[in-house]
Amino acid sequence: MKATIEYNSRKIQIDVSEPIDISIAIDVTKQHINAWYIDDPKIFPQEFDGEEVKVSSGAVVNFNNIHFNPHSHITHTECVGHITEIVHSVNQHLKHYFFVAEVVTVAPEKLNGDFVISEKQLKTALRNKKRDAIVIRTLPNLIDKKKKRYSNTNPTYLLEEAAIYLREKGIKHLLIDLPSVDKENDGGKLLAHNAFWNTAGKVRMDATITEFIFVPNSVEDGEYLLNLMIAPFENDATPSKPILYKIMN
């Protein structure tokens, strides 16, 4: 089913019957992603008077509690409130949900024993393109990303210069298939987070970072319409379900 959307005075045609889901869900029935040194999420039925509230136990409904941390267990979108003393809510500051995005694939570079994404790599990928969002797929892009245990593994991260470049290029929404844009242990500097949100200057309250995505290898690099859907939590970060649509015109 084709649809035409007018976006910034541009008519964009997409096929709404072919969404590309790049989120990773919580599934407690199998191993899934985890980071930041905490236990796995839990989904379990509420109990009343010692009885589980689930249909298979005789109740009329299933009535589950969910215990999780968005930064550790699921695709999530965060705002600057993630790193500020005042916990600004992403639910209050993300007011629009459709953006023109560029999907780019990057093979991280080795630097001082770490794997990093550099400014030069992003410049090569984006060139003179004007986009509201960037979706970064790192190599190798294995399905194991959906269940990787990231704690104490020093994953790939963005160099500060790369985050500054994205900010200065006008990228408002940064999506990446890693647990963080920053180094796992950088002494609390959070250079890429601070650079992208411009915390040393005029803070970009409407800019977001989405981590723990997964872009299938079948998705080609290029221009897409991004629908950045978030759950309505008043928090610095919230579970999200980013969906891509290939632009047909």
Q: Which domains, from first to last, does the chain contain?
A: 2-24+74-246 (3.50.30.50)
Q: How far is CA 238 from CA 26, 41, 77, 154, 242, in A?
A: 13, 15, 6, 24, 12
Name the residue with tokens 């891509």.
244
| β-pair partners for 134 | 102, 174
**pLDDT tens digits, 111-158:** 999 999 999 999 999 999 999 999 999 999 999 999 999 999 999 999
* pLDDT of 83 higher than 90: yes
71-78: average pLDDT: 98
Tell me how many helices (H) and strands (E) the chain has.
Answer: 5, 17
Q: What is the mean pLDDT of the chain?
A: 97
Could you say which DSSP state residue 61 is in? S
Q: What does the pLDDT read at residue 164? A: 98
Rounded distance between C-alpha atoms, residue 87 and residue 82, angstroms = 7
Query: By CB neighbour count within 10 A (0-12 exposed, 13-18 middle, 19+ buried), where does 218 fall?
Result: exposed
Residue 104: which of 148, 161, 168, 166 has the closest Cα? 166
* pLDDT of 1 higher than 90: no
The predicted model scores a pTM of 0.97
Q: Beta strands 157-158 and 133-138: pairing type?
A: unpaired
* pLDDT of 57 higher than 90: yes
Q: What does the pLDDT read at residue 115? A: 98
- Cα torsion 146, 106, 174, 201 to 10°: value is 130
* pLDDT of 3 higher than 90: no
Q: What does the pLDDT read at residue 42? A: 97
